[in-house]
Chains A and B, each alone.
Chain A
Amino acid sequence: MDTQHNRCKLTVVMIDDLCTLDRSVYRDLINLKQISNESEVQALFLGGRSRDLKPEVFVVDVDLQHSIPSHPKIQWPESDKAIKPVGPLLALPLLHAVGGAVFKPYSSNWGDASVLPNGLVLTALSMILAHEKQSSVTIQEAYEEMTERVGTSC
């Protein structure tokens, strides 16, 4: 399909390190793009590309362990699975850079000790939830909201 055609589709950006998604399912429906690490997010706003890229939706995987190389001097919250829960942090600069977009965090590890009870993750999630609700959300409220979502639909 030509560019004009693609401009008429919603653009969904995935902040995800391992994309196991079957992209063919979405090919005729939406434009699907992937960002997998901090460098690609930085390239978006440093290069001014966020003005050209106008996604309607961001889906944000919490754990990006496969896109962040280990370094002996860099520490991460302890976890058996070596989870690196930085996805919500990477979404933060995009909340304002791409105004009007919808952000949806997701994870298969919500129950992991390094994810939902993690204050750093919750700080970032509180920003995303505040953007979604267009009203202030504290870290405590973010914890309660996400716990509820995990317990139900998440």
Chain B
Amino acid sequence: MTTAPDAIAEGVKAYRRRLFAHAQAHAIAFFDIEMICSRLQRLKEESAEKRQRLSLPLCDTEPIKITFIDLDGKRRRLEVSSLFADRILELKKRPACIDVISKELIGELGEYSISVTLESFYANVKKLFWQLHEKGVPTHYKKLWSAYVDDQILQLKLSGYEDLTRRVLVEFAWVCAWQIARGGTDAKRCPDAEPEYSGTLSKFLIKEVWECLNITGTPSTTYGRMIPRLQEVMMTPFWRRPCWPEYSETSGDLNGAYQLNRDEEAQMTPLEAWLCRKFAEEPQKDGGLGWSDSEECPYPAWLRAARSVPASTLPSPDRSESPADTGIGRP
């Protein structure tokens, strides 16, 4: 490169490629890519009708942004026109550049897109969690998943993301259990809350997880692997992956693989980690647990810092899987 404009264009393009590669390597979920493309298309049509170049930033009622959870577990929003600044300038702000942007967005991120906003997804999973928690009718753990579809409106809102929803529901229960064990509520506290991986704390946590989800059917100290087996309920391999990296389907301790009873970093996607922290931190009046990470009542390590999901656990991109098979995209 010989000039600053060339370097800026190359730099923006390189950053975008890196972001997309990260999305594919670490299962970073992007929100509403289809809706973003619809909004862009409307802008294109309006500009074409008026025979005008696109006005910047690309904006309808507000600047059009993509939302995602980055590897630090923080929510980020980026204006589409900023992320594609090189393309827009290269094509001299012509409406046709919308097609180029949309094609790249769908091609690179379509599989990782969740077609709801992050806020509505969180709100709906949280609502479902409290519905199960307060139902008052004990549910056998094998039927937890059918209980989930009792609410037709929620079913519709979460349709397409059942696997992610099931997993996050169980993770929310673990957040609740740890808060109780650490004395974060007035209700009770584990009498021996030292971070041991088996024994008193572990049994206490497991019992609380069952109670949080109103589950009966097996002894309270048996976890029963609440992330269901394929033969019980179809659940895609990606979302059935163990919470701890050293466990596998063949390691022999399947229950242990799915218990978040250890004060260590667990394998969670950035989205799972963000949802769990949001649920922990949100004030109780808003439906969260109102739990701040503090010396008196610390988060477990897996809630404080999730270990990103290694690429080796993800479905291979060249396998002939549909988005539904990866468990990330909308079926």
Contacts and interface: CB of A to CB of B under 8 A. Distances in A.
B1 A25 contact: no
B88 A106 contact: no
A10 B82 contact: yes
A154 interface: yes
Interface residues of B, number: 27
Interface stretch (B11-19, B107-115, B146-154, B181-189): B11-19
A8 interface: yes
Interface residues of A, number: 36
B1 A10 contact: no
A61 B4 CA distance: 8
A108 B5 CA distance: 12
Interface stretch (A12-20, A77-85, A119-127): A12-20
Interface string A18-41: 011100011011100000000000
Greatest chain A CB density within 10 A among B4, B77, B79, B83 is at B4
A28 B81 contact: yes
B45 interface: no
Contacts of A153: 1
Contacts of B89: 25, 29
B88 A29 contact: yes
Interface string B67-102: 000000000011101110100110000000000000
A50 to B, nearest CB: 16
A60 B63 CA distance: 29
A21 B9 CA distance: 13
Contacts, number: 92
A8 B65 contact: yes
B85 A110 contact: no
A5 B63 CA distance: 8
Given A29-B57, A108-B3, A10 B14 contact: no
A20 to B, nearest CB: 8
Contacts of A105: 1, 7
B13 to A, nearest CB: 9
A98 interface: no
Interface in B220-255: none
B83 A10 contact: yes
B311 to A, nearest CB: 13
A29 B78 contact: no
Contact of A8 (B10, B18, B56, B77): B77
B8 interface: yes
Contacts of A108: 2-3
B6 interface: yes
A110 B2 contact: yes
A12 B81 contact: no
Interface string A67-102: 000000000000000000000000000000000111
B15 A59 contact: no
A88 to B, nearest CB: 12
A106 B6 contact: yes
B129 to A, nearest CB: 30
Contacts of B2: 106-108, 110, 154
Nearest to A13: B11
A57 B8 contact: yes
B85 A14 contact: no
Given A8-B63, A10-B83, A29-B81, A57 B4 contact: no
B18 A59 contact: no
A66 interface: no
26 contacts: A7-B77, A8-B78, A12-B8, A12-B12, A14-B4, A21-B4, A28-B56, A28-B57, A29-B57, A29-B85, A29-B89, A30-B8, A56-B15, A57-B8, A57-B11, A59-B11, A61-B4, A102-B15, A102-B18, A104-B1, A104-B7, A104-B11, A104-B14, A105-B1, A132-B14, A149-B1
Given A20-B4, A108-B3, 11 more contacts: A9-B57, A9-B79, A10-B83, A10-B85, A12-B8, A12-B11, A28-B56, A57-B11, A106-B4, A106-B7, A108-B2
Interface of B: 1-8, 10-12, 14-15, 18, 56-57, 63, 65, 77-79, 81-83, 85, 88-89
Interface of A: 5, 7-10, 12, 14, 16, 19-21, 25-26, 28-30, 56-61, 100-108, 110, 132, 149, 153-154
